[in-house]
Amino acid sequence: MACTKEEFEMAKGEAETLIDHHNIPVAENARPFLSEAYAKMKAGGMLPKDALKLPAALMELAYQYGYNLFQSGKYQEALPIFSLLRQLDISDLRTTFAIAACHHYSGEYLEAAGNYLVYKYMDPLNPMPNYHLYDCYMKAEYPQTALYVLQEGIILCDRDPRYGELGERLRLEMEHLKEILKSKYERE
């Protein structure tokens, strides 16, 4: 997003005002860099990682660190790392999926579902989140919603042959869920 020099300078001034107004301790030599980065984000629409000139290797290193924590079962320790990475670069879908997985494995099923839905919004033709959403909704005791995400996932799998195996797994889960729902409604 292009901006005028005037908009850019206004945003830089706004950054200076925010720093002063909130008494944010910033080294004097860092103020111009931070003000310019803020202006690049606000007026220029730049991603924070680009405005702050963070190297791709550093971003990847941070992701790998969070991933290693996750793999070690330290989901709550990995979560803030992935959250920061998503704030710095919303376009990296891995971080949104990782945040969802951290919540999922921590038993925070509705929080996980919300993040899987964000992922679905960003990559609407990928059926993989549907599988995880199904699990979250079942564990949160929302079987009707679980059935819906399974049906949607199957449709997505049928559109792309790469997801044939996942489609079969979703069909099996859907048949199982239909039996559960049928049994539940027959009792009532």
Same domain, 43 and 130: no
Q: Can you give the residue range of the structural domain that contains 13?
A: 5-51
For 75-98, how does the pLDDT look when each residue is reduced to its tens digit (9 = 90+)? Answer: 999 999 999 999 999 999 999 999
For 53-82, how does the pLDDT look when each residue is reduced to its tens digit (9 = 90+)? Answer: 999 999 999 999 999 999 999 999 999 999
Same domain, 21 and 78: no
The pTM (predicted TM-score) of the whole model is 0.87
- Taking CA 50 as the corner, what is the angle to CA 48 and CA 53, rounded to the nearest 5 degrees? 110
Number of domains in the chain: 2
Q: What CATH number corresponds to the domain at position 141?
A: 1.25.40.10
Q: How far apart are CA 135 and CA 125, in angstroms?
A: 19
Same domain, 125 and 106: yes
